[in-house]
Amino acid sequence: MKKILIISQGYWPEIFPINPVTNKLSEKGFKIDVLTGYPNYPKGKFFSGFQPYKITVNKNNNTEIFRVPIISRGINSKTRIILNYFSFIISAIVFGGFVLRKKKYEIILVYATSPIFQAYIGVFFKFLKKAKLVTWVQDLWPNILRDTGIIKNKIILKIIKFFVANIYNSNDLILSQSKSFRRDIKKITNTKVSVMYNPGYSEKKILKNRFNKKINILYAGNIGNAQPWEIIINLLKLEEYKKINLTICGDGQKFNYIKNFIEKNKTKNIILKGFVKGKKLEEQYKKNNYLLIMLKSGHDLNKTIPSKFQTYLFYKKPIIALSDGEVYELIKNFNLGFASKPYNKKKINKMFNDIICLKEKKYKKIVRNTEKFYVKNFSQNTINEKLKKELYKI
């Protein structure tokens, strides 16, 4: 039985793809420990029932979870978000190093959401425990900083790239969440890189999807700066698209922007629900018959496959994408729904007109395609079998 330490700032009861991966690995002959912080994503406040300024150890299924003190993200505060990130890195090394001092591991697996620098926790434990290090890359750094406009200074971007290369070179294996990621990572490291998609979050049996002439679209996830919100909400206020309903479930930096837009324009076909989870979110998936995914144009930003993509596939409904890059290509190549590149108004209008005119036969064909594509590429069993093989190889 291989002993693995998983390092992830985001973890249960927060909703992250690493959660089902951890559960499945513990069923596949691995002994899993998780080093994480205290849940406060996405609202920026610590979840009730947790004592965030202590080191705590508890169990979830067969997994032992070690939580270290961190600073919460806060509400719409860039300073607090930075403090949140770096407090986890420091706390995981200092307090994590202490609480795990007697533990032995063969593999350190870092689930590297932004910022990539949390992978240095993995580097620390690699040498401390004389273990193999695997980093599962979720965002391309520093590329994502440039694409989202967070950092534009070329010198700073080069410095960050130097540290990213250092992290990659410290690994025994890198897992990339998309094929595009793999190509880019290989440019700056000789470490082995394997493609490992994120799995869908839920594997519950769902009701059969039925065709409905009403167009009810669901967006579920982070409401942030990476999505072209101004395009979709301005489109839906036009008279010809007022019969299209959009429900938004989530939270983030653009929440108030959308809320103010709805109030100012008295928009009735856009419903902002806020953060929704569990059965209430499942109800929204059942109620709506199309699922929306969006990413702003950006050379590297669009190499990302957002984790909501595989969750959408699991619910077997046509996906509407305002995106280019990998998600755009997957939807087009495998007929998984409708896709248009952002900021091309003519193509976006054509896409929504095609949706309005969609017939039941074509809708059902898309539904079958999403189900097949999900099972083959993104189901929890598929991903965990592939991950298990990779971990046994190193």
Q: What is the pLDDT of residue 303?
A: 81
Q: What is the pLDDT of residue 3?
A: 95
Q: What is the mean pLDDT of residues 165-192?
A: 95
What percentage of the chain has pLDDT greater than the value 90? 70
Q: What is the pLDDT of residue 190?
A: 95
What is the pLDDT confidence band of residue 112, given thresholds at 50, 70 and 90? very high
Q: What is the pLDDT of residue 208?
A: 66
The β-bridge partners of 112 are: 137
Q: What is the pLDDT of residue 189?
A: 96
Q: What is the pLDDT of residue 226?
A: 83
Q: What is the pLDDT of residue 368?
A: 94
pLDDT of 343 strictly over 80: yes
What is the pLDDT confidence band of residue 143, given thresholds at 50, 70 and 90? confident
* Interval 95-106: pLDDT, tens: 999 999 999 999
* Interval 2-58: pLDDT, tens: 899 999 999 999 989 999 899 888 887 899 999 999 999 878 899 999 988 899 999
Q: What is the pLDDT of residue 68?
A: 97
What is the pLDDT confidence band of residue 69, given thresholds at 50, 70 and 90? very high
Considering only 64-78, 157-171, 289-303, which range has the smallest mean pLDDT? 289-303
Q: What is the pLDDT of residue 288?
A: 95
What is the pLDDT confidence band of residue 202, given thresholds at 50, 70 and 90? low
Q: What is the mean pLDDT of residues 342-368?
A: 94
* Interval 313-333: pLDDT, tens: 999 999 999 998 889 999 999
Q: What is the pLDDT of residue 285?
A: 92
Q: What is the mean pLDDT of residues 223-236?
A: 91
Q: What is the mean pLDDT of residues 134-157?
A: 85
pLDDT of 205 strictly over 70: no
Higher-pLDDT residue of 204, 240: 240
Over the chain, what is the mean pLDDT?
A: 91
Q: What is the pLDDT of residue 206?
A: 60
What's the gap between Cα 77 and its chain centre? 21
Delineate the domains of the chain, giving CATH numbers in brackets.
2-199+379-393 (3.40.50.2000), 216-377 (3.40.50.2000)
* Interval 252-298: pLDDT, tens: 889 999 999 999 999 999 999 998 888 899 899 989 999 999 988 76
Considering only 9-13, 83-87, 133-137, 205-209, which range has the smallest mean pLDDT? 205-209
pLDDT of 122 strictly over 90: yes
